[in-house]
């Protein structure tokens, strides 16, 4: 056999083998298991994680101790109360990773639904929800840690060492995301009721939520530019919530564990938290009728002295899980109507709008209604109005907001205190060790992206609270 024939046979063999390999590759594909999931099918995971992991677990449980809604009376919460090991990089590492997981889901949906380059260019509903939730989770991240990765994040192996963006550049990004969400939701022609765990496919409700979030994040910047922050908040509010029915809540929990609200499960399984003397004394001083609803006991002897309580499970008054607003099956509170009305009252006061007192009354009424307590009007007349003296107005507005936030809205109460210093914190360990102004850098960043991790400590304020960048 001559060389030409040998080469021809070799070429045929190679071609046959290549064709056979290609055919086998095709046969081995699981055509029922797509490599990319539709954006609408990512929404349940996005919304559930945003509520459960971002809003209602570790970050909130540390915040409730720092803000003195609760005293930590067992284990990690006791350490937080005493300011022990709060700079450990493992402290909120899981929360950091969860936030970036859920933000990556948002970024994946936004990329897939890009009207020009995406594979799902007409799914404006999924796109709008992803933009809202990216803004929501990015705000939690930067509010807690200050500078965080964003512009170079969510790129996978293309960039495993993203830079940290300054908070002053992130807050405009948050507002841009919400503006984009409002526009995109307005374009949506299809919605997914069963995939949407918060508003069940109601795009008008999502638009209201986006405007409410715009107001929240606008007012966050009062230390940067008081009048502008207040004006921008007021501009968003008319398009936001109009009643408790509009609130941004994640429900679907049940009485039976492990399907209960995470606060209920935390109490039942770990029993780390007890009502603190700080909020108790504030409410006693105002003869607040919500105490019996808020607390399992209103006997002063049962209240945990903030920063000095014994380490014990079940030895003090606790959040009252027998009430419907706070029960095992109650929803996660991502943004309530009473929060919006308190934002309105504060913003109006800061801009000299005399109707701020009406907004404050409406905020208190909304809070009473939310927890099912009567007597808001009398409470305002007898215990709030007398405190609205010249120079004390803002203090009382924010103190009332602090009371209304017990204890499921601890993250926003923590943000408000860092922004305003109201109400006064009483933990003696703030003086001897220090108030926790931001969270410690996560272990995952310290170990794998240390060159980019900023040098701030937990005792340094974030930018919008008056800190440096």
DSSP line for 263-288: HHHHHHHT--EEEBHHHHHHHHHTT-
**Which range is least confidently modeled, 24-38, 67-81, 296-310?**
24-38
- Give tens-digit pLDDT for 329-354: 999 999 999 999 999 999 999 999 99
Note the maximum CA span of the chain.
111
- Give tens-digit pLDDT for 233-271: 999 999 999 999 999 999 999 988 888 999 999 998 999
pLDDT of residue 36: 76
Q: Rounded mean pLDDT of the chain?
A: 93
- Give tens-digit pLDDT for 4-29: 444 454 444 444 444 455 554 554 55
CATH code, residues 39-258+328-465: 1.25.40.390
CB burial of residue 258 (10 Å; 0-12, 13-18, 19+): exposed
Mean predicted confidence (pLDDT) in 131-159: 96
- The percent of residues above 70 in pLDDT, for the chain, comes to 93
If one counts every other C-beta atom within 10 angstroms of the C-beta of residue 112, the result is 21
Q: How far is CA 339 from the centre of its chain?
A: 13
Q: What are phi and psi of 20, to 5 degrees?
A: -65, -40
SS (H, E, C) 205-263: HHHHHHHHHHHHHHHCCCCCCHHHHHHHHHHHHHHCCCCHHHCEEECCCCCCCCCCCHH
CA–CA dist 231, 244 (Å, integer): 23
Whether the predicted pLDDT of 35 surpasses 70: no
Query: pLDDT-derived band of residue 324, with 50, 70 and 90 as boundaries?
Result: confident
CA–CA dist 384, 386 (Å, integer): 6
Q: Is the pTM of this model over 0.85?
A: yes
CA–CA dist 439, 143 (Å, integer): 9
CA–CA dist 75, 287 (Å, integer): 32
Whether the predicted pLDDT of 423 surpasses 80: yes
Whether the predicted pLDDT of 208 surpasses 60: yes
**Chain position carrying tokens 């907004």:** 359
**Which range is least confidently modeled, 7-21, 57-71, 102-116, 297-311?**
7-21
If one counts every other C-beta atom within 10 angstroms of the C-beta of residue 160, the result is 9
Mean predicted confidence (pLDDT) in 356-366: 98
Query: Domain segments of the chain: what residues?
Result: 39-258+328-465
CA–CA dist 256, 259 (Å, integer): 6
Whether the predicted pLDDT of 273 surpasses 60: yes
**Which range is least confidently modeled, 207-211, 254-258, 295-299, 394-398?**
254-258
pLDDT of residue 12: 45
- The percent of residues above 90 in pLDDT, for the chain, comes to 87
Report CA-CA distances (Å) from 123 to 101, 182, 186: 22, 14, 12
For the record, the structure tokens of 442 come out as 């996560």
pLDDT of residue 22: 52
């Amino acid at each position: 056999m001559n060389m030409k024939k040998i080469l021809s046979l070799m070429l045929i063999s190679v071609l046959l083998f290549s064709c056979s390999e290609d055919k086998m590759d095709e046969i081995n594909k699981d055509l029922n298991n797509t490599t990319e999931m539709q954006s609408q099918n990512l929404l349940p995971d996005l919304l559930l994680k945003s509520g459960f992991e971002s809003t209602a677990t570790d970050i909130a449980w540390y915040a409730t101790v720092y803000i003195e809604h609760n005293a930590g009376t067992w284990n990690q919460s006791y350490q937080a109360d005493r300011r022990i090991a709060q700079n450990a990089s493992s402290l909120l590492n899981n929360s950091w990773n969860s936030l970036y997981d859920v933000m990556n889901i948002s970024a994946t949906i936004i990329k897939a639904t890009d009207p020009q380059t995406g594979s799902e260019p007409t799914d404006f509903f999924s796109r709008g929800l992803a933009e809202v939730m990216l803004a929501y989770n990015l705000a939690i991240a930067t509010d807690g840690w200050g500078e965080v990765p964003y512009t170079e994040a969510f790129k996978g192996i293309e960039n495993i060492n993203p830079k940290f963006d300054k908070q002053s550049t992130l807050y405009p990004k948050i507002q841009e995301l919400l503006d984009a969400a409002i526009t995109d939701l307005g374009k949506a022609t299809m919605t997914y009721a069963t995939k949407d765990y918060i508003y069940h496919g109601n795009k008008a409700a999502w638009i209201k939520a986006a405007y409410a979030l715009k107001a929240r994040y606008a007012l966050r910047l009062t230390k940067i530019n008081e009048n502008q922050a207040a004006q921008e908040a007021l501009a968003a509010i008319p398009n936001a919530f109009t009643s408790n029915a509009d609130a941004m809540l994640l429900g679907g929990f049940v009485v039976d564990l492990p399907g209960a609200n995470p606060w209920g499960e935390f109490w039942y399984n770990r029993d780390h938290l007890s009502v603190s003397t700080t909020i108790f004394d504030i409410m006693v001083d105002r003869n607040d009728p919500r105490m019996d609803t808020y607390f399992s006991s209103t006997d002063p002897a049962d209240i945990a002295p903030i920063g000095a309580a014994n380490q014990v499970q079940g030895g003090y008054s606790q959040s009252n899980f027998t009430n419907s607003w706070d029960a095992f099956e109650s929803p996660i509170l991502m943004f309530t109507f009473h929060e919006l009305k308190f934002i309105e009252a504060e913003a109006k006061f800061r801009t000299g709008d005399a109707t701020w007192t009406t907004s404050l009354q409406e905020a208190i009424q909304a809070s009473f209604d939310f927890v099912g307590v009567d007597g808001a009007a009398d409470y305002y007349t007898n215990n709030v109005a007398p405190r609205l003296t010249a120079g004390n107005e803002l203090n009382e507005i924010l103190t009332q907001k602090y009371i209304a936030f017990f204890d499921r809205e601890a993250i926003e109460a923590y943000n408000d205190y860092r922004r305003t210093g109201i109400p006064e914190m009483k933990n003696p360990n703030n003086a001897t060790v220090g108030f926790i102004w931001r969270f410690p850098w996560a272990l995952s960043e310290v170990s794998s992206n240390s060159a980019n991790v900023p040098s701030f400590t937990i005792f340094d304020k974030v930018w919008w609270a008056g800190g440096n960048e």
